[in-house]
């Protein structure tokens, strides 16, 4: 069934809800592995700290993923962490397509339908372009 599960996470409350679903799915398949994917947008992070040199910008998420890793460890679910750089939706879709992911799980930002159509969201774009099923968790 779903052996290769991708969990897109930024440590937000929606990502933590998505974690619960990833755990539930992983428990159903004996050899399931969860890949936690977190995307760093270097352009935004450089602008936020006022730096131009990419080496001066911290490229790793803070402790945002600690809760996710701890929960998977407590449930004895094998996982790995993949840090990606760039536009979140593009990087997640690219990773899914290149790594034989069976299902992607991503939290919703909770935007209403009009905002989602106007602004677009990472979850919406991933669901639209990925070549595997995507579970969007509210």
pLDDT tens-digit readout, 83-98: 999 999 999 999 999 9
DSSP string for residues in 71-96: HHHHTT--EEEEEEES-HHHHHHHHH
| Nearest CA among 128, 121, 127, 25 for reference residue 136 | 127
| DSSP one-letter code for 100 | T
Q: Tell which CATH classification among 2.60.40.10, 3.30.2130.10, 3.40.50.620, 3.40.50.2000 matches the domain 4-137.
A: 3.40.50.620
- 112-121 residue pLDDT tens: 455 455 445 8
- pTM score above 0.85: no
Delimit the domains of the chain by residue range.
4-137
46 vs 86, which has greater pLDDT?
86
Q: Are 121 and 88 in contact (CB under 8 A)?
A: no
Q: How many CB atoms lie within 10 A of CB 3?
A: 15
Give the total residue count for the chain: 138
117 vs 136, which has greater pLDDT?
136
Helix H or strand E encompassing 7:
strand 4-8
Tokens of 131: 């070549």
| Nearest CA among 3, 15, 4 for reference residue 109 | 15
Residue 56 predicted with pLDDT over 50:
no
SS3 call for 28 = helix
Residue 8 predicted with pLDDT over 60:
yes
**pLDDT average, residue stretch 32-41:** 95
pLDDT score recorded for residue 1:
85
101 vs 115, which has greater pLDDT?
101
Exposure of 126 by Cβ count < 10 A (0-12 exposed, 13-18 middle, 19+ buried)?
Answer: buried
Residue for token pair 């996710």: 68
């Amino acid at each position: 069934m779903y052996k290769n599960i991708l969990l897109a996470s930024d440590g937000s409350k929606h990502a933590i809800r998505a974690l619960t679903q990833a755990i539930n799915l992983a428990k159903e398949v004996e050899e399931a592995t969860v890949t936690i994917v977190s995307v760093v947008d270097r352009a935004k992070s450089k602008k936020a700290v006022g730096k131009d040199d990419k080496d001066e910008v911290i490229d790793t998420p803070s402790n945002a993923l600690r809760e996710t890793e701890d929960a998977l460890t407590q449930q004895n679910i094998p996982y790995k962490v993949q840090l990606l750089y760039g536009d979140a939706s593009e990087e997640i879709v690219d990773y899914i397509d290149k790594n034989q992911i069976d299902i992607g799980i991503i939290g919703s930002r909770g935007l209403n339908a009009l905002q989602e159509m106007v602004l677009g969201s990472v979850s919406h774009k991933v669901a639209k372009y990925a070549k595997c099923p995507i579970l969007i968790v509210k």
